Structure 1
Amino acid sequence: MTDSAPGNPVILVVAATPEHQAILSDEFASRYARDYDLHVVQGGADAYALKGYLMSEGRQVALVAVDHSLEGGALPLLDKLRVASPTSRRVALVPAARFAAALEELRPALGQGRLDTYLIIPQGARDEEFHTAISEYLSDWSWSATTPVVAGVQIVDDGTQPSIPAIRDFFDRMGSAYERFHPDSDEGRELIASIDGDATLPIVKAYGRDPVTAATERSVAAAFYGTPANLGDDFVADLLIVGGGPAGLAAAVYGASEGLSTVVLESDAIGGQAGTSSMIRNYLGFPRGVSGMRLALRARVQATRFGARLYTGRAVTGLRVGDVHEVDFDGGTLRARTVLVACGVTYRRLGVPTLEELEGRGVHYGAATSVARDMQGRDVYIVGGGNSAGQAALHLARFANSVTIVVRRRSLEETMSTYLIDEIATHKRISLRTGAHVVDGGGEGRLEWICLETSDGVIDRMPADGLFLLLGADPGCSWLPPEVAQDERGFVLTGREIPMDRWVNGRPPAPLETTAPGIFAAGDVRSGSMKRVASASGEGAASVSQVHGHLAPTAPVS
């Protein structure tokens, strides 16, 4: 056991032998003893008793690492610890000599969510792959399960402003740590006193910028990256991207890296709906999974490093097609030689007035990972059967007493990936309610109950502290002009899906080109797309070569 400052988060390591205990104690202490309270014990009984004591003292256990050669097996102990502390990240540590045999047991367990990963016990100095994995899980735990130690954003509110959940969600999706202060606190009074004029709550101050009063998600987002007006009246982009989700970010990276002057307009937070995902496990190149926030953050940094300009809180309101296209947005107009429509989709509204009135007070559209910690010990319902709903359920189950997924269909198989279905099926806090939909709900000032109607017309009323609505997708491109053809649901037609009578000069458009030359579409907003992060990223990247083809001068006819 290594001494550390009291109150630090805990790392609990369980070794099977004295030899492994010595190796693991030295390995973990060399990297983490300063910031974590490290406990390296031998044997599962001692580990479980110690964890019970630590939690009774109010200590947070960030990570549990269990030797796979433990007598009785590592998985039964990890299962018990998962129930006792669901927010802890769980790792199986495998001796190198036992690795091949251990995989037979660990692979299916990983798919069922019984552990987060398995790693070979380090064999020597500087096992950076081992420590990269441990650091990633500690970072993920710190971001999702605890309050930040250092925050660049201050929010002042009294807990009654309905815009607060959306503001918090914006900063979580942008990877910006924040602190909240009551207006009667010392910090709150100081920030209010610094404002000239009306200091209407909520107030948000971020990274030395002027405070935003009467703040909303949109006004905070608009203040985050400045204004496109700074580009100048004569600015014409080579590529203007509408939407900062996976498709838009991939196009921004490839466009800017290949020398195109590239601008991204995003109405909310960079990352789109994918940015709300607590953990994406089937994205190529991330074997341990990656949160939507981290994926978007890395892509944003990558795009800006190549010179792309990204603006949040800028909802596009119109498009005029021409040799140089004009795009209207909140606060102005930008001109561009080509435009990529990558604005994704929006969740459908539930349409129940009593619940719409409680949005932000227990009722949330999207995964709203920022309020997951507020659901500690509560009963939560998720409406939706897609991957986003499955990821939200698994994340919320780390905190909530119970999570119920509600779907109209008879099962999840048609709409959700198998890896999520398998993990949900083994989670004791998650249940599935099929053949039902929400018809009513209410509460005094915040959500307290909902009513579900079954397929045979029976209505059940039950207590509910949180309702997360992921109801399917509608395209977010009602601003497109008639020159850009859409299907009957409003998704943008591209390539050979475009009717022949809309082809220009008798030739089919490029695969991602719309009926308006120089206007392209990629990602979820495109008719026929797969509605997956990887496919959206691929389409965004592929669109850049077609943009180059459009911008290239036409060879003269001899």
Structure 2
Amino acid sequence: MANPAILTVDDDLAVSRAVARDVRRQYGDRYRVVRANSGSEALEALKEIKLRGDQVAVLLADFRMPHMNGIEFLEAAMDLFPRARRVLLTAYADTDAAIDAINRVDLDHYLLKPWNPPEEKLYPVLDSLLDAWTTTPEATASVTRVVGHRWSAPSFKVRDFLARNLVPYRWYLSDEPEGARLLAAAGVTEADVPLVITPEGKSMVQPSETDLATHVGLSTTPAKEFYDLVVVGAGPAGLGAAVYGASEGLRTLLVERRATGGQAGQSSRIENYLGFPDGVSGAQLAERARRQAVRFGAELLTTREAVELDVRGATRVLKFGDGSEVASHAVVLATGVSYRMLEAPGLSDYRGRGVFYGSAATEAPSCSGQEVYIVGGANSAGQAAVYFSRYAQRVHVLIRGESLVRTMSRYLIDQIESHENIEVHPFTEIAEASGDEHLEQLVLRDARDGESRSVDTSWLFIFIGAEPRTDWLDGVITRDRHGFVITGPDLIAGGNRPVGWTMPRDPYHLECSVPGVFAAGDVRSDSVKRVASAVGEGAMAISLVHRYLEAQ
């Protein structure tokens, strides 16, 4: 691993050189000094450092830069290196902005220009910040290590779980020297993969997601038995509900089956979300929301799947798959939707071994120079196509319709058309999948004339339709024929109250057929399937929770 980096960014070339020179003179023997002349250039440098698995110790950014000022840069950089120490370079006239930045980006220090002599005004500050960084346990090079086979579905599942929960890890192939050494040290064979080794040195063979979560620091057990509010699902709607619920003083528990972000968390780039003109990845957006919810006091449980909702008077009880339960005054259902399984001979045999549902961003670097196939015509498929086009030789988008116009946002269609290595195949469906230990070939069929052709590929990513995970609510919550939760005015269409409704009033707008239980986001019947609307419904649900609690 390379020396940790100290990154400086300033659009004034002379100042940029001077900062880098002074920093390199004092710290160049222990740290790699990286210099950038703009916020965007600095972010690209940080992304390269992140991909290499290296560390960044300190970020020094000038406040007054065009296009992206220093505060905006530091805010974006937090998503890549949240533990790097942050310093803002300011003039005397900008001290108010620096003070604001202390709250906005958790600024560690601001330096007034000029900083001469550096021995008095620069080095003592950096010495203190570097000491703090090196003594922070999370800043060490120790990370979770995963040893597995390239085409092992359980190995992919472990890697995907860690990546989606933003747990740093290193991946070792079991047939390479270092992977083989780790297997030998743990006393297991290649047939036992995946092997997971925690930063503390504990070895786990084929761990469950719950065991994995527990040993990498994710919370899996509620701290209390009773809460004001339990939110089920940590996608955009659930995160929105958790942020607003916790910020308004409700004892809030957020329960997630797998990882924060939901389907949106797998999006490589969301460019139509308000307030992010340059776009934001789903993982970044979800992580910011998670940090925000936790900062307000929300408690987050991972790998806990709700399997039953029980009504006990004014108490709402959620039961989990392991038999445990948690009670609350109110519940927000924000479980979202899952991609529908694509039915074709052979596909189910290669899930996690060349066939993936969702973007599976962990696999993108492995697709370098290869042919990638994507099934689906909605925004999630378009975002994935643009993302994989950075790595793949060619990306093929398979759709059953005539074009993308009716199913995909215009901005994504324009991007796809601008990439020479993305090709859209209309009226095309998958007829069969085949291969040896992993996917090697697809049979594509023309939906108009039935003509088939075979293509060689090891990569298929599927984004088709959506169905809610609501079977566990059967007999308790009213749902439509597709399984989506019916709420508010739709429950009393025709003048009839829902069966079992005990209140003298009509259901609130997002309220389900059980008083005190609300639904928000994609799981709700006739909802708008967009990230912004899901976040809005999550926030709206909290105002209705307050109204419900005040009336009790």
Class of the TM-score when normalised by the shorter of the 2 chains: 0.7 to 0.9
Displacement after TM superposition at 1:542 (Å): 0.8
Displacement after TM superposition at 1:543 (Å): 0.4
2:530 aligns with 532
Is the counterpart of residue 328 in structure 1 residue 326 in structure 2?
Answer: no
2:240 aligns with 250
Deviates more, 1:24-33 or 1:241-250: 24-33
> 1: distance between equivalents of 2:76 and 2:416?
20
> 2: distance between equivalents of 1:403 and 1:198?
33
1:459 to 429, 433, 452: 452
1:552 aligns with 550
Q: List per-residue Cα deviations over 1:200-247 (Å, max 9, x = no partner).
A: 421224454854321355653465555654535xx1111111101000
2:171 to 166, 180, 185: 180
Is the counterpart of residue 212 in structure 1 residue 210 in structure 2?
Answer: no
1:263 aligns with 253
Displacement after TM superposition at 1:321 (Å): 2.1
Displacement after TM superposition at 1:336 (Å): 1.6
Contact 1:63–1:138 (CA<8 Å) still a contact in 2? no
CA spacing shift, 1:27–1:260, aligned 2, 3 Å = farther
What amino acid is the match of 1:244? A
Contact 2:195–2:206 (CA<8 Å) still a contact in 1? yes
> 1: distance between equivalents of 2:187 and 2:297?
34
1:161 to 142, 146, 152: 152
CA spacing shift, 1:390–1:136, aligned 2, 3 Å = farther
1:291 aligns with 281
1:481 to 474, 487, 506: 474
What pairs with 1:68-467 in structure 2 (closer than 5 Å)? Answer: 126-127=64-65, 129-131=68-70, 150=141, 152-182=143-173, 185=177, 189=181, 193=185, 200-208=192-200, 210-217=202-209, 219-221=211-213, 224=216, 229-232=221-224, 235-322=225-312, 323-331=314-322, 332-456=324-448, 457-467=450-460
Structure 2 segments unaligned to the other structure (5+ residues): 25-30, 50-61, 83-138
> 2: distance between equivalents of 1:458 and 1:7?
56
CA spacing shift, 1:313–1:209, aligned 2, 3 Å = farther
Contact 1:435–1:454 (CA<8 Å) still a contact in 2? yes
> 2: distance between equivalents of 1:37 and 1:199?
43
What amino acid is the match of 2:490? E
Deviates more, 1:495-504 or 1:514-523: 495-504
Displacement after TM superposition at 1:451 (Å): 1.2
Deviates more, 1:325-334 or 1:242-251: 325-334
1:518 aligns with 516
Contact 2:63–2:70 (CA<8 Å) still a contact in 1? no
Between the aligned residues of both structures, percent identity stands at: 37
Displacement after TM superposition at 1:21 (Å): 9.7
Deviates more, 1:533-542 or 1:182-191: 182-191
Deviates more, 1:194-203 or 1:300-309: 194-203
Contact 1:10–1:38 (CA<8 Å) still a contact in 2? yes
What amino acid is the match of 1:458? E
Question: What secondary structure is seen at the aligned counterpart in 1 of 2:350?
Answer: coil
Displacement after TM superposition at 1:182 (Å): 4.4
What amino acid is the match of 1:247? A
In the superposition, the TM-score normalised over structure 1's length comes to 0.74
1:491 aligns with 484
Q: List per-residue Cα deviations over 1:259-296 (Å, max 9, x = no partner).
A: 11111111111111111011111111111111111111
Contact 1:387–1:417 (CA<8 Å) still a contact in 2? yes
CA spacing shift, 1:316–1:127, aligned 2, 3 Å = same
> 1: distance between equivalents of 2:19 and 2:392?
31
CA spacing shift, 1:199–1:189, aligned 2, 3 Å = farther
> 1: distance between equivalents of 2:32 and 2:551?
58
What amino acid is the match of 2:537? E
1:96 aligns with none
What amino acid is the match of 2:470? C
> 1: distance between equivalents of 2:213 and 2:484?
26
CA spacing shift, 1:408–1:199, aligned 2, 3 Å = closer
In the superposition, the TM-score normalised over structure 2's length comes to 0.74
Contact 1:523–1:537 (CA<8 Å) still a contact in 2? yes
CA spacing shift, 1:7–1:548, aligned 2, 3 Å = closer
CA spacing shift, 1:483–1:182, aligned 2, 3 Å = closer
Contact 1:344–1:476 (CA<8 Å) still a contact in 2? yes
> 2: distance between equivalents of 1:9 and 1:429?
36
> 2: distance between equivalents of 1:253 and 1:458?
52
2:497 to 502, 505, 508: 502
Displacement after TM superposition at 1:393 (Å): 0.7
> 2: distance between equivalents of 1:228 and 1:151?
23
